[in-house]
């Protein structure tokens, strides 16, 4: 009888500890706000113009073909884009997105040159337990300089994080998707000020 009670107690303690562990580490952790990340990556910028671009069915089809992603598996059909204003000129771009990790969303920002080369990839927030290393500089620096012409595949030109393969692949797939999307929407981003641009200036330096 005592052994039965002891086993029951052990199971109860294990369940409580498991619930605590899950709740503690599955809550989304914000690492940096979007506007702060933009300022860090583009310190010379005077303003950032935000535009939400809804991808057309044709654009979605082309991205699925070139990037190898399937939008129905959790990818947004809208691209959040920022034009970096340096005086009267655009000095670069940034695209914001969320991909599905093993435990939840990985919210990230991809900064680009005018030509579409990756300047920086920043993890804004995430809900991952074992995927935390993907937010580290030593992993993210692998994306620097990448373009839509690069494979951008784990175990090919990106080294995944041991124990966080799903997170590594999800983020890499997301970056690949955004690089392809950028090639298709860049002309829309350059139409700042037109009637349907729907731009919002998120901050100005005083």
Q: Where are the domains of the chain?
A: 29-204
Name beta bridge partners: 48. Answer: 84
The answer, yes or no, to whether residue 44 has pLDDT greater than 70, is: yes
7-35 pLDDT, tens digit per residue, is 555 455 443 444 333 444 445 578 999 99
Q: Output the CA–CA distances (angstroms, integers) from residue 107 to 70, 80, 142, 166, in the order listed.
A: 18, 12, 18, 15
The answer, yes or no, to whether residue 51 has pLDDT greater than 60, is: yes
Give the Cα separation of 94 and 81 in Å (integer): 6
Q: Which of 7-16, 82-91, 123-132, 170-179 comes out lowest in average pLDDT?
A: 7-16
Q: Which of 21-30, 76-85, 178-187 comes out lowest in average pLDDT?
A: 21-30
HSE-up of residue 57 (Cα within 13 Å, Cβ side): 0
More reliable by pLDDT, 196 or 36: 36
Give percent of the chain above pLDDT 90: 67
Give the Cα separation of 49 and 135 in Å (integer): 26
Is the entire prediction scored with pTM above 0.85?
no
At residue 17, the pLDDT reads 41
The answer, yes or no, to whether residue 200 has pLDDT greater than 50, is: no
The average confidence (pLDDT) of the chain is 84
Burial 82-97 (b: 16+ CB within 10 A, else e): bbbbeeeebebbbbbb
Helix residue ranges, H only, 45-164: 57-67, 137-140
Contacts 24+ apart (CB under 8 A), 22-27: 25/103, 25/129, 26/103, 26/104, 26/127, 26/129, 27/127
* φ/ψ (deg, to 5) at 49: -95, 120
DSSP class of 93: E
Compute the average pLDDT of residues 62-88: 95
Residues 6 or more apart whose Cβ sits within 8 Å of residue 62: 180, 184
DSSP class of 154: B
Give the Cα separation of 152 and 67 in Å (integer): 9
The answer, yes or no, to whether residue 171 has pLDDT greater than 60, is: yes
* pLDDT band per the 50, 70, 90 thresholds, residue 163: confident
DSSP class of 109: E
At residue 150, the pLDDT reads 98
DSSP class of 27: S
More reliable by pLDDT, 67 or 88: 67
């Amino acid at each position: 009888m005592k052994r039965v009670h002891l086993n029951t107690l052990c199971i109860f303690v294990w369940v409580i500890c498991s619930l605590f562990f899950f709740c503690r580490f599955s809550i989304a952790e914000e690492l940096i706000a979007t506007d702060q990340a933009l300022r860090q990556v583009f310190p010379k910028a005077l303003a950032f113009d935000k535009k939400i671009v809804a991808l057309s069915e044709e654009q979605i089809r082309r991205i699925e073909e070139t990037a190898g992603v399937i939008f129905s598996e959790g990818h947004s059909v809208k691209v959040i884009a920022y034009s970096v204003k340096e005086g009267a000129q655009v000095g670069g771009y940034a695209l914001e997105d969320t991909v599905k990790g093993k435990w939840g969303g990985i919210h990230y920002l991809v900064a680009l040159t005018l030509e579409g080369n990756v300047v920086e990839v920043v993890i804004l927030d995430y809900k991952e337990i074992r995927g935390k290393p993907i937010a580290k500089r030593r992993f993210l620096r692998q994306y620097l300089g990448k373009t839509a012409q690069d494979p951008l595949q784990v175990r090919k030109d990106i080294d995944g994080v041991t124990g966080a393969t799903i997170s590594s692949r999800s983020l890499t797939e997301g970056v690949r998707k955004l690089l392809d999307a950028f090639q298709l929407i860049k002309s829309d981003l350059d139409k700042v000020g037109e009637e349907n641009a729907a731009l919002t200036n998120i901050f100005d330096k005083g």
